[in-house]
Structure 1
């Protein structure tokens, strides 16, 4: 087990935090805690963790949780990568070159900087990169369906799931947020959120019921439709 743990530590998420982050509320388990590391090692589904962790990025703008999450998933899916000044011309997706003329037709970058992305807009942004994106509003789904679909997506390494949830519903500070999921632990029925504001919160394990409740909240920027989750594949 120590060998496995050492390998996971090398990926960065499980290393002890050096920078101060906001205190976690009861009910959430930080990945960089002893319990959080043990959950990852024993998790039932974790293929996406390895694919996403090597492409992890912090959002560079307060409204860029969607673009940051997109860049991770596009890289994990090996979508053809354009050159970018942000990645020294090495052809990786980042929070600059995720924007293309096709994504501008969905929602201009300038508007995203002011208001972020809704779940439907995020799905359309992925489709603008020629990917298949299935949008599931929580109000039209169920916790059982979410658990099944998200676990299957995490386990197959060929698709990825992103969640759009209200932070305050799980005890974190304030508004709506988007991040990908990296793993699922069946014994505790928890999903691992790879939070793209790592300077604010570490990746956390959250109970499935609590996460679904946080997704089943009105998104005021989407005609009061609920938030939800997004399944993305080639």
Structure 2
């Protein structure tokens, strides 16, 4: 390994270990913790990892158990560099937070009271993201294929200013237990695994998951979304 490669390995291991420092639930055998040696090795060798560093720089834990979608959007918006609102306590600096992302425009898509009670659906996630200067494409897993998902997600994760947010059923991956939202950060072609930067860091660390298992977890009906399947949202900063 070159000096540059060694430095990258140390840097990656440190960043992931910091992100996953909470005492979390045990992982099922099919998932690889990002902070483990195999997990760090996957990121070092990943085919598509451009999205990882801007997301890691803006990694947040969801502030309530229903705010996984809000936390994921905050990460993506800050990572993409779109104009952020003012934050009185940080004046004169501006940033998206879980307190200032939702407003009258987003209430028209999904009321804050609904999010506080039950979170949000895939379509609501896409609608809220589309209120920002972003190009947003919502894909329901039932309307696409594993190969199409793999290709689209890989290409976005390898391109500056592009991101992927997933909506999946935890229990389909052997986790506890319901629907969840988090950003993807990288893809390793040799192992055919995606890295999920899980925003419920009090519950699970970031994990590497097989592409087919992740797609199956997205290809599940969501009763809060007229039983349409979950899926993923492709996000690109406009102008990129």
TM range (shorter): over 0.9
Separation in 1, partners of 2:92, 2:30: 42
2:215 aligned with 1:212: yes
Separation in 2, partners of 1:231, 1:73: 11
The offset of 1:107, in angstroms, is 1.1
TM-score by length of 2: 0.93
The secondary structure found in structure 2 opposite 1:164 is strand
Residue 81 of structure 1: aligned partner: 84
- Matched positions, count: 233
Residue 206 of structure 2: aligned partner: 203
1:40-77 CA-to-partner distances (Å, cap 9, x unmatched) read 00000000001100000000011100000000011111
Separation in 2, partners of 1:182, 1:4: 16
2:226 aligned with 1:223: yes
The alignment's C-alpha RMSD in Å is: 1.5
2:141 aligned with 1:126: no
Residue 93 of structure 1: aligned partner: 96
Checking the alignment, whether the CA contact within 8 Å between 1:14 and 1:37 is kept in structure 2 is no
Checking the alignment, whether the CA contact within 8 Å between 2:13 and 2:35 is kept in structure 1 is no
Separation in 2, partners of 1:213, 1:76: 28
Residue 12 of structure 2: aligned partner: 8
Instruction: For structure 2, list consecutive stretches of 5 or more residues without a partner in the other structure.
Output: none
Checking the alignment, whether the CA contact within 8 Å between 1:189 and 1:208 is kept in structure 2 is yes
1:153-182 CA-to-partner distances (Å, cap 9, x unmatched) read 000022110100000000000100000000
Moved more, 107-116 or 52-61: 107-116
The offset of 1:86, in angstroms, is 6.5
2:161 aligned with 1:158: yes
